[in-house]
Structure 1
Amino acid sequence: MDKKAAMPMKQQTVVLYPSPGVGHIVPMVHLAKVFLAHGFDVAMVIAKPPAGSPDFRIVDVGDLAASNPAITFHVLPPVPDADLAVPGKPPFLLTLQVLRRYDGELERFLRSIPRRRLHSLVTGMFSTSAVDVGARIGVPVYAFFASAAATLAVVAQMPALLAGRPAGLKELGDAPLEFLGVPPFPASHLVRELLEHPEDELCKTMVDVWTRNTDAAGVLVNTFESLESAAVRALRDPRCVPGRALPPIYCVGPLVGGDGTGSADQGRAGAERHECLAWLDAQPEGSVVFLCFGSRGTHPPEQLREIAGGLDRSGHRFLWSVRTPAGAGDPESLDAFLPEGFLERTKGRGLIFRSWAPQVEVLRHPATGAFVTHCGWNSTLEAIKEGVPMLCWPLYAEQLMNKVFITEDMGVGVEMEGYRVGFVRTEEVETKVGLVMESDEGRVIRARAVARKKEAVAALEDGGSSRASFARFLFDVENLDKQLGK
C-alpha cells in the first residue's frame, strides 16, 4: 500500500484508550506507531487501576513518553474508588468497575479536541465502556483486542454457552469445549473468571466487558490472518453468534517490539546492551534454550529446582530469566533455589539472571533455538515473528487457551506436561527440551516456526494482509464519519 496515498487530507487525532497494564499498553504503543506512519496525531489516554492492583502491572508513563516522544500521553485524573473496595471483592472486579468510573473524565478529554480533528477512539479490550462515551460524542469507536483472534471468537460465543449452562462451567472439569473456528480445548482452560457461576458478579462483569468489544464499530486484532485463519473466518461467519452480525475484524499484527517498547523492554529504550546478549554472541547458532515467564510469572523454589535439574540433564545451552514469589527467601541468592552444584556443572553452557530480560532481542538472536514461555499473547507473537519454536508452560489468564492454539492450530510448539497441576517435573523438562532441540519432530516444529516467521514478515510488508487490513479500517472510518455527519 502506498503510504502517501494513505495520508489523510488534514492532520487528525486518534485517541487510544488502552486497558491498564504493560501487556495492554505496550501493544497499543505499537498500534500508535502505525497511525503515526499514516500521518495522524496520536494521543494515548491512561487510566490508572486501583492502587496495589495485582491484575495489571503498572506502567511508568514518564518512561514510556520519553521513549515515544511522537505520542502525546494523557493520564486521567484519579476517580473515587473507596466505596467499591469492599472486603472480599476480587481485585480484578474492582479494577473493571473502577474503569467504568473513568468514562466521565475520558469524555471531558475527548470534548477538548475539536470534533473535526477527532478521527476515532480506539479502546482496549477491558476499557469497552468507552463505546458509550464515543456514542455520546458521535465519534467512531473501535476496539483493539490485544490477544488472539481465537480468544475473541471464544469471547463472542461465551454468552450463548453460559445461557445453556445455568450452573456454570466449572463442573465440566477437563471436558472438551467446542467453539466455531477454535480447536477443542478443556473447559478448565477458559479464563478462570469465566468458570464461575454465571450469576457471580465477577463472571457477569467479565463477560459483559469482553463481549462489548463486539459492540464497537469494528475490532482491530493483534494477529495476522494466515496465522489464525479459522478463527478469523468464524468471526465473519453468521453462525458465530446466531441472530447477530459481528462488526468487521481487522487483523493488523503482529504488533511487537524490540525498539524499547516490547513486552519485556518497556521503558528501557537507549539502555546499554544487556550482558546476556554478549553471552549469546559466543554461542553456536540455534543452540540456546531461552526460559522467561513474563512480568508476573514466578515459580516456587521446589519448581525452580525441577527446572534446573531438567536443564542440567538435557545437556543443552540455556539462558534463564528467574523470578521467585515474594517471601520465597533471599532474592539475591540463586544457590538457595537450585540443586547443589548446579551452577558449577553448567558453567559455560548456561546463564541465569534475576533482572529484566530483553526478550525481543534474545528471541531475535541467531543463537536462540527454543523458547520456554508462559504463552502470553505478546510473547507468543514475539516468538512467531522471530521464528522460534515454543515449549508451552501456561500459568494464568488466557494463556492456557493460547497453549492449545500454539500447539494444535499453529503447530509451532509443544506443551510442558504438568502445567495443569502446577508442577512440571525434571524428566519433563529434559524430555521436551531434547524433543524440540534434537528430534525429528522438533525439526518439523522448527520448520513450521520459520514458515510462520515468513508469513508474519509478509503480512506487514507493502501489499501484505495486515497492511491491507489497516487500509480497509481507515476507509471504513471515513465512511462511518460521513454517516455520523462529521
Structure 2
Amino acid sequence: YLSFHLLPPLSPPLDPSLFPNPIAASLEFSRLNCPNVLHALQTISNSTPVRALITSDPYGAFHPNIPTYYYFSSGAASLAAIVHLPTLHNQWTTGFKDLPFSLVSIPGLPPIPASHMPEPILDREDPAYHGFLCFAANLARSQGIIVNTFDSLEPRAIKAITDGFCIPDSKTPLLYNIGPFIDKSFDRTGGEAECFSWLDAQPNQSVVFLSFGSQDTFSALQVREIATGLDNSGQRFLWVVRSPPPKQEHRNNKRLAALTDPDLDALLPEGFLARTRNRGLVVKSWAPQEAVLNRESVGGFVTQCGWNSILEAVCAGVPMVAWPLCAEQHMNRAVLVEDMKLAMPVEQAEDGFVSSVEVEMRVRALMESEEGRALRERSQMMRENAKAVHGQGGSSRIAFYKLTESWRR
C-alpha cells in the first residue's frame, strides 16, 4: 500500500525571483528540503524496516542506514554527461558557453559542440551548474541508478558508464536499465477525436507528424517558415501549433503564451489552410502524441528530441527528424542521429532558426528518400526490441529482477 508523508513548508518560503532561472530555484528548493526528507526517513524507519530509498532529488537525502537508488528519467547518454561533469569541470578552465565551437568529449557519446551541452550547465556562474555538480557526485555515491532506457537502444553509452569511463575517480554504481516507460494516459479532451478520424482516413505510413513538446514555443516567423515548408513539400502532415511567445518576452514566459490557443488565421500564411486541407491537419496547442505515433498512417515524426518523445517514437517504430530546442535536446539529437541512427537532423542557424527550404527538404527526405527508408526499417527493428525487453528473458525484466533482489539482500 501507499503511505504519504507531507514535508513541512520551508520557513522562510523560497523566493524564485531571487534566482536567475527556474532550474536554479528548483535545485535550491531541493537542497533546503534535505533535512526534512532525512527527518521523514528517520521517522518511517523507526516503525518500519526501509529496504531502499528511490529518489530523483539532485541533492539526495542520504540516510546512513538506508541504501539510496536514483531514478533517472532520461536516457543513458544524458546520464553519462552528468556523471562525467566533475571530470569536465576539472579539464575545462571556463564555462561551455564561453567556447561554443569547441568539442566536448564524453565517454559513450559522439563529440558535442560545447554550446550543445545541456542548458543548466553552460554557465559556470549559474547556481544551477553547481547544483548539477552536486547531482553528479550524489549519483556516483548511490547504491544504484535506475534508468528509463533499454540495453539495445543505447549500448555505447551504457557500456561507457558501466566500464567506469564516465566516473574515473571512484567506483561506478550499478545501472538498472528497466525502460522504456511511457505514460499512455492523457486527460485532455476535444481534439483527439478529429485527430484520430483524420489519421485513420490516410494511407499507411503517409503522414508526417510535427510536435515539439510542452516547454518551448516558436516565434511567429518560425511558424510561418514551417508552414511554407510543409506547403511546398507536398506531404501529408499532422501539425501541432502552439501560440508564439509575446514579443520581447524572456524565454521563461514562453510557457505562459502556450496556455492560450493560437489564432491560426493570423499566424499561418494566407491561404495555407485552404491549400493543404486535403492533405494536412493543423491541431491547436496539443495532441495525444503517444497515441498519434501509434496510428498506422503515421510514417514520420518531427520532434524536439525530448527523451519522452524519443521513447514514444521508438516504441511506435516511427523514424524522426531531429529538431532540438532546449535543455539536453541537442545532445539527444547527436546520439539519436549518429549512434542510434533513428533520425536525420535539421540544419539550424546559429540562433536555432530553420528555413522553409530546410523544412521542405527534410520532410521529403524522411518520407520519400532512401535514407528515410533505411531509418524506417531500423525504427521498426528497434520497435521490436522495445517490445521484447519486458518479456520473459528480456533485458529490462532481468534488470528489474536484479534491482528487487538487491533490496532483499
Write the letter of the residue equivalent to 2:370: D
Task: Measure the CA separation in 2 of the matches of 1:73 and 1:341.
Answer: 54
> Structure 1 residue aligned with 2:105, among 169, 178, 199?
178
* Residue in structure 2 matched with residue 153 of structure 1 by the alignment: 80
Aligned counterparts, 1:55-134, within 5 A: 76-80=7-11, 82=13, 85=16, 87=18, 89-113=20-44, 116-124=48-56, 127-132=57-62, 134=63
- TM-score, with structure 1 as normaliser: 0.77
Q: 2:173 aligns with which of 243, 247, 250?
A: 247
Distance 2:323 2:401 in 1: 36
Structure 1 residue 230 corresponds to structure 2 residue 156: yes
Matched, 1:414 2:344: yes
| Whole-angstrom CA distance in 1 between matches of 2:280 and 2:136 | 42
Matched AA of 2:116: H
| Equivalence for 1:221 | 147
Asked if 1:472 is matched to 2:402, the reply is yes
Say what the alpha-carbon RMSD is for the aligned residues. 2.2
Shift in Å, 1:353: 1.3
1:327-406 correspondence to structure 2 within 5 Å:
327=246, 331-406=261-336
Work out the CA distance in 2 between the residues paired with 1:400 and 1:472: 33
Shift of 1:99: 1.4
Judged with a 3 Å threshold, the aligned counterparts in structure 2 of structure 1 residues 231 and 280 are, in CA distance, closer, same or farther, namely: same
Q: Do the aligned residues in 2 keep the contact of 1:274 with 1:358 (CA within 8 Å)?
A: no
% identical aligned pairs: 40
Partners in 2 of 1:210 and 1:257 — Cα distance? Answer: 27
Give the 5 Å matches for 1:44-55. none
Q: Take 1:346 and 1:467, find their aligned partners in 2: how far apart are those partners? A: 46
TM-aligned CA distance change 1:370 to 1:401, over 3 Å: same
Structure-2-length-normalised TM-score = 0.91
- State the secondary structure of the residue aligned to 1:348: coil
SS at match of 2:52: strand
Unaligned runs of 5+ in 1: 1-40, 44-71, 480-486
CA gap of 1:211–1:275, structure 2 versus 1, over 3 A, is farther
Distance 2:100 2:342 in 1: 26
Partner amino acid, structure 1, of 2:54: V
Q: Which residue of 2 aligns with 1:437?
A: 367
In the alignment, does 2:202 pair up with 1:283?
Answer: yes
1:212 to 138, 159, 170: 138
Counterpart of 2:354 (choices 407, 415, 424) is 424
For 1:193, the equivalent position in structure 2 comes to 120
* Conservation of the 8 A alpha-carbon contact between 1:370 and 1:437: yes
Shift of 1:165: 1.8
Number of positions where the alignment pairs a residue of Structure 1 with one of Structure 2: 397
CA distance in 1, matches of 2:304, 2:182: 17
The 1:379/1:116 distance shift into structure 2, 3 A limit, reads same
Which deviations, in whole Å up to 9, do the C-alpha atoms of 1:380-399 show, x marking residues without a partner? 01100111111111111100
Tell me by how many angstroms 1:150 deviates. 1.1
Alpha-carbon contact 1:459-1:465 (below 8 Å) kept: yes
Question: Cα 1:73–1:400, aligned 2, differ >3 Å: closer, same or farther?
Answer: farther
Q: Which one-letter code corresponds to 1:239 in the other structure?
A: F
Q: Give the superposition deviation at 1:297.
A: 2.6
Does the 8 Å contact 2:99/2:114 carry over to 1? yes
Partner of 1:302: 221
C-alpha distance in 2 between matches for 1:366 and 1:77: 49
Superposition deviation, residue 242 in structure 1: 2.2
| SS of equivalent to 2:282 | strand
Distance 1:83 1:361 in 2: 39
1:344 counterpart SS class:
helix
Question: Is contact 2:102–2:113 with CA below 8 Å preserved after alignment?
Answer: yes
TM-superposed CA distance for 1:331, in Å, is: 4.1
8 Å Cα contact 2:59/2:134 also seen in 1:
no
Give me the whole-angstrom Cα distance separating, in 1, the residues matched to 2:144 and 2:342: 29
State the one-letter code of the partner of 2:232: R
Residues 223 and 268 in structure 2, CA contact (< 8 A), matched pair in contact too? yes
The equivalent of 1:168 in structure 2 is 95
Cα distance between partner residues in 2 of 1:419 and 1:222: 32
Pick closer, same or farther for the CA change 1:203–1:129 going to 2, 3 Å: closer
Is 2:128 the counterpart of 1:202?
yes
2:105 counterpart SS class = strand
Report how far residue 107 of structure 1 moved. Answer: 3.4
